[in-house]
Structure 1
Amino acid sequence: MNNKMDTVTEIRAFNRFYTEIIGLLGQHILDSGYSLTEARVLLEISRTKNAAAHKLADVLGVDRSYMSRIIAKFEKEGLITRQANKNDSRASDIRLTDEGRRVFRELDERSNCQIMQLVSGLGEEEQAQLRQAMKTIKKFLNTAPATLVIRPFRESDVEYVIERQLSLYETERGFSSDIWKRYLREGVLTLIGRFNPELDNMYILENNGAPAGGIAVTHADAETAQLRYFFIEPELRGLGAGQKLFETALAFCRERGYRRAFLWTVSAQEAARGLYAANGFKITETGENSEWGVPVLEERWDLDL
């Protein structure tokens, strides 16, 4: 009983501490004029081709009248467009405009800068301990477990795959050059344009009905598959979702009779590299690249199936 009470006391103390941290971060993000809640709304709209205000309110736990005011603000500022829903005349489909995507990426970067300032006094080992501690907390206190589904992509997923990777790589890795943006967008569209259902696939990970990551398999030749566009939304990292998605892609490769598979990544993707190594991939080629906004070391990883 004492151990349980000690746990309760420690969790409540941590909750008070973290609530204060969130309160500081939840104010207008570095004088941008947008709150953390508004940034989260933009994120959810970016993930869904046809978002609806009432669904956004439910997903984010936001009062519906407050959500209506946020949506009205976004529309006035040209961040979103609203169109009548074909199946429900009472609802509107909400989509980000180009300006909305630009503002979201800027807010995402500002939020990252806040967190960087928060941990700036920590060394590499301390930051690693912090990341592991947070993964542990998510693992043991996940009172509403994710409902994960892995499914083949639909046409409506293509823009999600492009936009989320552009956003994640820009905020997390600094990939911001026009060369990078063109490389990613044209690469995804080319994959879809030459898609062969007997040899290719793209899987979408869904969390509670919302897209939360993806991975593609495309044919390099009759015996070789390339894995591409592998990403997981931050909230699901460290919980095994990436492993499930990766295993699904490898199972497809074996089912289709490929003899080998390869992928390209960058050395900074430490968590992903650990996953590749754990699944038997080995580095076979490296090369420096300075065209994507920051210098990176590209790595090719290969696996005999």
Structure 2
Amino acid sequence: MTVDLKDLGPGDIDWLVDQHAWLYARDEGFDDSFPVLVRQILEGFARDHDPACEKSFIAWDGDQRLGSIFCVREDDETAKLRLFLLVPEARGRGLGRTLLEACMGFARDKGYRRMALWTHQSHRAACALYEKSGWRLVRSEPKVSFGTEVVEQGYEVDL
């Protein structure tokens, strides 16, 4: 697998919304409110992001998209990791680590002192990757989100 990391481009928003909708409905039981949120986040990023301190990474193998990760500004010292996704056929090959390292490296290079993210406890592989990369769990609480019971978690890492 030869992977190229590209900026958000034509067709990426629709693809990412579709992949999030399908995977999260299949794996987590999320309802149709989730892809609406994903589209809002992506369209907001496309419209308003500051390329000097925010970046998208879309993983491609030839003409096939494999996943994404986004680095967005939370405040002057904190970057937020968003929309980390890998299609099932790309998992277990080190691409998640590649995307995470690219995102963290970008944040570090732009002068952020820390990163934060929000996820769910059920994303065991991603949570294990975060912990191996120095992230620490700072919040965990049961909730009902997107029509299903979840345990929301917050992670942070110093850069």
Is the shorter-chain TM-score for this pair beyond 0.5, marking a shared fold? yes
The number of residues matched between the two structures is 159
| Contact persistence 2:20–2:35 (CA under 8 A) | no
Query: Is 1:158 matched up with 2:51?
Result: no
- 8 Å CA contact 2:139–2:153 kept in 1: the answer is yes
SS of the residue 1:268 aligns to: coil
1:296 to 138, 150, 153: 150
1:161 to partner: Cα distance:
1.5
Alpha carbons 1:214, 1:229 under 8 Å: kept: yes
In structure 2, distance between residues paired with 1:150 and 1:265: 23
The residue number in structure 2 matching 1:184 is 38
> Normalization by structure 1: what TM-score?
0.50
User: CA separation of 1:210/1:177 partners in 2, compared to 1, >3 Å: closer, same or farther?
Assistant: closer
Q: CA deviation digits over 1:38-92, x for unaligned, max 9?
A: xxxxxxxxxxxxxxxxxxxxxxxxxxxxxxxxxxxxxxxxxxxxxxxxxxxxxxx
Match of 1:175 among 26, 30, 55: 30
Where does residue 254 of structure 1 map in the other structure? 108
The residue correspondences of 1:27-66 to structure 2 (distance < 5 A) are none
Change (3 A) 1:289 1:182: farther
Is the strand fraction higher in 1 or 2? 2
Matches of 1:208 and 1:191 in 2, distance apart? 25
Superposition map of 1:88-103 within 5 A: none
Runs of 4+ aligned structure 1 residues displaced above 3 Å come to none
Higher Rg of the two aligned structures: 1
Where does 1:1-305 land on structure 2 (aligned, <5 Å)?
146-178=1-33, 180-305=34-159
Alignment RMSD, CA only? 1.2
Please report how far the alpha carbon of residue 149 of structure 1 lies from its aligned counterpart in structure 2 after TM superposition.
1.2
Deviation at residue 177 of structure 1 after TM alignment:
4.1
The sequence identity of aligned pairs, in percent, is 28
Shift of 1:175: 0.8
In terms of fraction of residues, the more helix-rich structure is: 1
Q: Quick one: distance in 2 between partners of 1:193 and 1:221?
A: 19
Whichever residue aligns with residue 18 of structure 2, its letter is: E
TM-score, with normalisation over the residues of structure 2? 0.94
Whether contact under 8 Å (1:177, 1:291) holds in the other structure is no
5+ residue gaps, structure 2, are none
Q: Distance in 2 between matches of 1:147 and 1:181?
A: 29
